[in-house]
């Protein structure tokens, strides 16, 4: 069941979301509670099929980040292996509150958190960010190929590409006139 939020809460959540990105997710206590459940009980009884869905759709982060957060939680729980010691106040608060909770108690809290999340929106956002990343990588690769082709053509013509001046964007005729006017004023 999805709860409706007041307009002010929506604005606060939206502003927080705008400041964060997939890579720079700001982990809060609710995220730490979700991670605590994941560390203690795995994905069993969660509405996700794998770590990726938990990290991206529910939390709004990456699997790598989820695993690092889980390592901090394991440390706070006293686990001997797979730990990191750079835990946050939110992680410590989550472990202090729910570290000794039964599976049923923690499951109830986790389901409340998930019910209040818009994981479909997280999914769309992550898909959009991944598409943008792929597009950027494609454009960079295309630029590399074009630069290599240009350099090969210059070499074929007997020119050294490293000594060639980059033309960049050409100025419009009216921009050239403005530059001339500016030069005349300086004299």
Residues 93 and 131 in one domain: no
Q: Is 187 inside a domain boundary?
A: no
Residues 105 and 150 in one domain: no
User: CA–CA separation, 22 vs 174, rounded Å?
Assistant: 43
Residues 104 and 16 in one domain: yes
Q: Is 91 inside a domain boundary?
A: yes
Residues 79 and 127 in one domain: no
Residues 55 and 102 in one domain: yes
Kindly list the distances between the CA atom of residue 175 and the CA atoms of 150, 184, 185, 186, in Å, as whole numbers in the listed order. Answer: 27, 14, 15, 17
Residues 64 and 155 in one domain: no
pLDDT tens profile 122-142: 667 767 777 877 888 888 888
pLDDT tens profile 97-123: 999 999 999 999 998 998 887 767 766
User: CA–CA separation, 19 vs 186, rounded Å?
Assistant: 44
Count of structural domains, the chain: 2
pLDDT tens profile 17-64: 444 444 567 889 999 999 999 999 999 888 888 998 898 888 888 888
Domain assignment of residue 70, given as a range: 7-117
Q: Is 62 inside a domain boundary?
A: yes
pTM over 0.75: no
Residues 82 and 166 in one domain: no
Choosing from 90, 117, 144, the residue where a domain stops is 117
Choosing from 72, 101, 117, the residue where a domain stops is 117
């Amino acid at each position: 069941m999805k709860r409706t939020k007041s307009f002010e809460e929506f604005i606060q959540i939206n502003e927080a979301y705008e400041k964060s990105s997939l890579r720079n997710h700001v982990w809060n206590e609710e995220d730490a509670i979700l991670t605590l459940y994941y560390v203690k009980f795995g994905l069993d009884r969660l509405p996700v099929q794998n770590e990726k869905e938990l990290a991206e759709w529910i939390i709004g982060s990456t699997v790598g980040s989820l695993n690092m957060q889980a390592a901090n939680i394991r440390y706070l729980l006293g686990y001997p292996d797979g730990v990191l010691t750079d835990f946050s106040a939110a992680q410590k608060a989550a472990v202090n509150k729910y570290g000794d909770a039964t599976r049923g108690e923690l499951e109830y809290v986790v389901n409340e958190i998930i019910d209040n999340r818009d994981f479909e929106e997280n999914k769309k956002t992550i898909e959009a960010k991944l598409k943008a990343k792929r597009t950027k990588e494609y454009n960079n690769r295309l630029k590399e190929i074009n630069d290599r082709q240009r350099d090969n053509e210059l070499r074929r013509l007997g020119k050294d590409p490293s000594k060639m001046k980059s033309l960049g964007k050409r100025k419009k005729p009216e921009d050239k006139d403005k530059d001339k006017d500016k030069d005349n004023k300086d004299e």
